[in-house]
Structure 1
Amino acid sequence: MLNHDGLDIAWLGYATLRLDDADTVVYIDPGRYGVLDGYEVCSRTSSARSNRDPPGPAGDVICVSHDHHYDTDAIRKVADDDATVVLFEGINTHLIDRDVERPADLPYDIRKVDMEADIAVDDAIIRTTAAYNEPDGPHTRPTGEPYHPEGRGCGFHITLDGVSVYWPGDTDVLDGHEHLDVDVFCPPIGGTFTMDRHEAADLAEAMDPSLVVPIHYDTFEAIETDAEAFVEDLESRDVPVALDG
């Protein structure tokens, strides 16, 4: 777990991030591929709340960027009883080849967002951005079809207690990314389905955040990469970077 200006940031594996400013806890894309196996949470009303790692604090806000990261078992595992679940509107359970619940069947307040949302949930300011692979870009299937077509997912720009954290989602580097005002940038670096470590490093340098924390790599073979080389690349460009996990 890392701390930046009073905000705890934990990469729990794959695309799962936990943000905690001691008043509000946000989970982004929890679950898939066993990353939460053995992970426990304590209720926000529990005296164990101060013991953060482990167990982790229950989430007040759960954000899910697209179908591939929609895992209702994980949502139920990390969400507090009165949590709000922020879902990209394009999530369609009929297109998911896994056993998941419909959003309407989850016992939480559900808020759906598009690719241009700007909402407040508890103490979190949540903005969204487009997330997709370019049809003629490097991250497509052998048929030329993007792994993530436009309109099927989003990125999350979340501000807690004045600190902004940006998870761009499963995406290529897109026009406009470099202009975002971001304190902590959490890019995917695994390649294949998203930007790779070289593309992420170029974007991080252009964005000039206070800290870069890479995620979405090494969970399975298709997204294995050299995270230490990514760190060395950014350090050579004087971009602050840290690995978590």
Structure 2
Amino acid sequence: MRSTQVDNVVIEWLGHAGFVLKGQGRIVYIDPYMLPDGPGYEGDADIILLTHEHFDHCDPESIRRVRGSTTTTIIPEKMSLQFKGDARRIIEGDLLTGDLAIKGVNIEVVPAYNLDKPNHPRGNGVGYIVELDGVRIYHAGDTDLIPEMKDVNADVVLLPISTIYTMGEEEAAEAAALIGPKVAIPMHYGHVEGTESDPQRFKELVNERAPGIEVIILQDQ
């Protein structure tokens, strides 16, 4: 199962940390990477959100494929890539909501960083909370379990579980329990790092700590 539906929003995993969120009126991509072959993605993005500049999150080929003439691309301030058209630079704490919403989609820019690893220093990358058709979806980006997660209000959380560059299954399960969403979806495994057994372990840990959260393990093929 590549996708799941929460209320009126379809959440499709593209693999690794890439997702496409499809509401009734808008299509939002987050970190598109190694898009599946075949039709269905060409130029259909209303909004693209990039969390940071690492190759497995900012893939120029995938971005070109989904980006159309009217696409709005949201990028962290410190990214070196330049984009033509409607591209906006953001920093953590920015609120693209209300009158500042992007094409009617509320977007909150939240911290994402490592606590005890050198790979993702604070300020280089971000996470996002996207409110689409009333569903709040938190994409954590590449991050450890950080104090700011206690302030996240989300119906769905997309959490990395890879251990080496981000939090692992244990920390991710703690994050899910701390936030208390309806649905938790693991990501950031199986391509660059992590194994196919990691999401099952994550699911077991969440079921132990917060049995009211539904863990959905998506397949990228």
TM-score by length of 1: 0.80
Counterpart residue type for residue 60 of structure 1: D
2:23 aligned to which of 16, 21, 24: 21
Cα-to-partner distance string for 1:96-141 (whole Å, 9 max, x where unaligned): xxxxxx32xx3x310111011111111211111111112xx2xx2x
**Are the equivalent residues in 1 in contact too, given 2:24–2:133 (CA < 8 A)?**
no
Counterpart residue type for residue 26 of structure 1: V
- In the other structure, the counterpart of 2:77 is 89
The 5 A counterparts of 1:61-210 are 61-68=47-54, 69-93=57-81, 102-103=82-83, 106=84, 108-119=85-96, 120-134=101-115, 137=116, 140=117, 146-210=118-182
Cα-to-partner distance string for 1:142-162 (whole Å, 9 max, x where unaligned): xxxx11111110001100111
Deviation at 1:167, TM superposition (A): 0.7
Identity %: 31
5+ residue gaps in structure 1? Answer: 44-56, 94-101, 141-145
Task: Identify which of structures 1 and 2 has the higher relative contact order when contacts are C-alpha pairs closer than 8 Å and 6+ apart.
Answer: 2
Distance verdict in 2 for CA 1:39–1:147, change over 3 Å: farther
Q: Structure 1 stretches (4+) deviating beyond 4 angstroms? A: none
How many Å separate the matches in 2 of 1:75 and 1:67?
A: 12
Deviation at 1:223, TM superposition (A): 2.6
Structure 1 vs Structure 2 CA RMSD: 1.6
- In the other structure, the counterpart of 1:40 is 39
How many Å separate the matches in 1 of 2:120 and 2:152?
A: 22
**Are the equivalent residues in 2 in contact too, given 1:41–1:77 (CA < 8 A)?**
no
Counterpart residue type for residue 27 of structure 1: Y
Deviation at 1:80, TM superposition (A): 2.9
Structure possessing the higher radius of gyration over alpha carbons: 1
What is the number of residues matched between the two proteins? Answer: 208
How many Å separate the matches in 1 of 2:189 and 2:21?
A: 19
- In the other structure, the counterpart of 1:223 is 194
TM-score by length of 2: 0.89
Distance verdict in 2 for CA 1:37–1:5, change over 3 Å: closer
Structure 1 stretch displaced more, 13-22 or 229-238: 229-238
How many Å separate the matches in 2 of 1:38 and 1:130?
A: 32
How many Å separate the matches in 2 of 1:232 and 1:41?
A: 34
5+ residue gaps in structure 2? Answer: none
**Are the equivalent residues in 2 in contact too, given 1:124–1:160 (CA < 8 A)?**
yes
**Are the equivalent residues in 2 in contact too, given 1:41–1:78 (CA < 8 A)?**
no
